[in-house]
Structure 1
Amino acid sequence: MILTRLAKLTNGWNPALRIALLVIGLVLAFGLPWTMYPPVALDITAWALFAVALDLLLGYTGMLSFGHAAFWGSSAYATGIIAIETGMPFPVAVLGGALVAALLALPIAMLSVRRSGIYFAMVTLAFAQLVFFIANQWRSVTGGENGLQGIPREFFGLDLSDSFYFYYAALPLILLGLLGAWRVVHSPFGRVMVAIRENQARARALGYPVDRYKVQVFVLSAFLAGIAGGVYAVGHGFASLQEVYWTTSGKVVVMNILGGMGTLWGPVLGAGIIVLLEDYLATAGIDAVGLVTGLIFVVTVLLFRRGIWGTVRHLVRSHAPKDDGNDEARQEEPEPKPAPARQG
């Protein structure tokens, strides 16, 4: 009964529901530093954008990348180098780092998109490990095992040494990145992404250059991941090898699966859960953080096959009236159907 009533409510007031979710999300984003340690709040927002960036590739286009740490980490290093060497305001340094990540992604994408499934995942992992090797060996630039330290928070002379104030200075970059992802998903380009995920052969038969779309999505995903990595590096004041290590790629994949792939809200929820859980376990002195998070992940996958957010959305939609002929009005994000068939 509760789900049925909620389904009717969301069906009739879908625009209002979207606005309500947006307002709640903004309130939470602006209120995080007041409820927790500001660096943890910044980590949640940065990882949320990183997870959404991967969701464009994994959830909406059906391409599993195990190498996205290369773009998160390369942007972190590039942002730090730009900020240290030029003294530019940190938003400029972050955008410069994101551009480096996108340029790095272009050749990787062109060499990877001709593969699919596990082969694509392994190719991206191989390139990410190559980036890790370069970062480890190029000590004069990256600092090697010591990392790149002393990244400044320069912003037109303002004192952002307090993490509380830096959070609000960096938040617009994160929100712009999330807005960009939302706009892509709710565009004709996003419909083609979903079509490629659902039936690649059909999308190609309809005349869409599938490989070119894949490259574009890959580069866009890397750019957004680069924004997140740059903000993360400036917020912590350093960039380390951990940022380009394969476990970072695995962590953001877990966030997507935990929250719900192909939903946008799901990766944000997954990022918040993982970051808060790791912070709680570390504060409690529990060393087996990976073991605990892994067990929770397994339980969640068994109970929520679509992820937490995805499962809730599916339950609500399954109880929605089916005779109104207006399925599209209920969509929070595009349904996993090859919409380009309607585009002629």
Structure 2
Amino acid sequence: MSTQSTVHGRSGLGTPTPAVIPGAVLWAAALLLAVLAPFALYPVFLMKVLCFALFACAFNLLIGFAGLMSFGHAAFFGGAAYVTAHAAKVWALPPEFAILAGVGTATLLGLVFGALAIRRQGIYFAMITLALSQMVFFLALQLPFTGGEDGIQGVPRGRLFGLVDLTDPLAMYYAVLALFLSGFLVIRRAVHSPFGQVLKAIRENEPRAVSLGYRTERYKLLAFVLSASLAGLAGSVKALVFQLATLTDVTWQMSGEVVLMTLLGGMGTLLGPVVGAALVVALESYLAETSLPVPVVIGAIFVFCVLLFRKGIVGEIAGILKRRA
């Protein structure tokens, strides 16, 4: 293949090849925008967007690529938040170890919950995850170390690796951005790997995947655990950003909110959950300053977007670009 044919996007046989340069430029521009964003917008707002974007991406890995609808992802998000907050405040662990404790807890919960839930499919799978998530909610309400309805407040951010002072908003933002990018790249790598292709096959036709010799339960369990771990990472970071962990993090409404974010942005797309999370968080922040009922307005916008964008915002845009190509 010649250099000229690569630049013009054609192979030596005259077959069009994917354009690499525009995609690379787009990702570079997005990264540059994320780096410069805290100089134009409130850093805490941006950190909240990144936390929920990672949460939505983790959930999307399960529903968008494995076809498993979970109504209990708040258990991993909130459970990790509580453990991280307790580890940082009571055990006085450095932030990196507190986050590892939260992610480890979410991973363990994902392994147990997944082993129970993947035995069923469809609505039964969703109801099992919801029931298990409610168990975590009642534990968070009753256990002494969680603080009950008050939660865990005044969580110290500490110094990351003993060097970076996370009490500085800019330092905290860039630490959150680095963790978000790490989680996002893990999801992207998983989706484009042979493992991700098997998950898509299971989503489209599980009996056929079984007939091809794949042990689908193992793949679904691994996807469930990976999704739970990344949701736990989002919850752990959120606990440090806002310096608290409350019952709001483990309620069924939180599980419903991440479903809303994913569907708005575009289920089964990599960037869809990020766009959906940014939209929902921005609406909540803006509408909180008005007298409008926030749930009603967001619900109306959700219905409008679902009717207008069947594949989500990013999904519809991707479909339009594909048809024009």
Which residue pairs with 1:337 in the alignment?
none
Partner amino acid for 2:146? T
Which residue pairs with 1:187 in the alignment?
193
Worse-matched range after superposition: 244-253 or 170-179: 170-179
Aligned equivalents of 2:17, 2:321: Cα separation in 1: 13
Aligned equivalents of 1:43, 1:193: Cα separation in 2: 29
**Is the 8 Å Cα contact of residues 190 and 196 (structure 2) preserved in structure 1?**
yes
User: 2:179 matched to 1:173?
Assistant: yes
Which residue pairs with 2:109 in the alignment?
104
Which residue pairs with 2:147 in the alignment?
143
Which residue pairs with 2:65 in the alignment?
60
Which residue pairs with 2:207 in the alignment?
201
The structural deviation recorded for 1:298 is: 0.5
User: 2:248 matched to 1:246?
Assistant: no
Aligned equivalents of 1:185, 1:91: Cα separation in 2: 27
Aligned equivalents of 2:40, 2:135: Cα separation in 1: 40
Aligned equivalents of 2:33, 2:101: Cα separation in 1: 28
1:172-222 C-alpha deviation (Å, 9 max, x unpaired): 111111111111011000000100000000111111110111110000000
Q: Within 5 Å, which residues of 2 pair with 1:96-135?
A: 96-135=101-140
Which runs of 5 or more structure 2 residues have no equivalent in the other structure? 1-7, 10-15
Which residue pairs with 2:273 in the alignment?
267
**Is the 8 Å Cα contact of residues 91 and 173 (structure 1) preserved in structure 2?**
no
1:23-49 C-alpha deviation (Å, 9 max, x unpaired): 122123222222221111000001110
Which runs of 5 or more structure 1 residues have no equivalent in the other structure? 1-7, 321-344
**Is the 8 Å Cα contact of residues 163 and 235 (structure 1) preserved in structure 2?**
no
Which residue pairs with 1:38 in the alignment?
43
1:141-177 C-alpha deviation (Å, 9 max, x unpaired): 1001000112111111643323233111222111111
**Is the 8 Å Cα contact of residues 110 and 224 (structure 2) preserved in structure 1?**
yes
Distance 1:51 1:250, change over 3 A: same
Partner amino acid for 1:270? G
The structural deviation recorded for 1:273 is: 0.6
1:238-268 C-alpha deviation (Å, 9 max, x unpaired): 0000000001011011111000011110001
Distance 1:31 1:110, change over 3 A: same
Worse-matched range after superposition: 92-101 or 239-248: 92-101
Question: How many aligned positions are there?
Answer: 310
**Is the 8 Å Cα contact of residues 50 and 176 (structure 2) preserved in structure 1?**
no
Identity within the alignment, %: 48
Choose the corresponding residue for 1:280, options 283, 286, 289: 286
Aligned equivalents of 1:280, 1:247: Cα separation in 2: 20
Aligned equivalents of 2:97, 2:24: Cα separation in 1: 31
User: 2:152 matched to 1:152?
Assistant: no
The structural deviation recorded for 1:84 is: 1.6
The structural deviation recorded for 1:13 is: 5.2
Q: Within 5 Å, which residues of 2 pair with 1:191-340?
A: 191-283=197-289, 285-320=290-325
Worse-matched range after superposition: 286-295 or 306-315: 286-295
Aligned equivalents of 1:36, 1:43: Cα separation in 2: 12
The runs of at least 4 aligned residues of structure 1 exceeding 4 Å deviation read none
Partner amino acid for 1:22? W
RMSD, matched Cα: 1.6
Aligned equivalents of 2:202, 2:264: Cα separation in 1: 23
Q: TM-score, normalised by structure 2?
A: 0.92
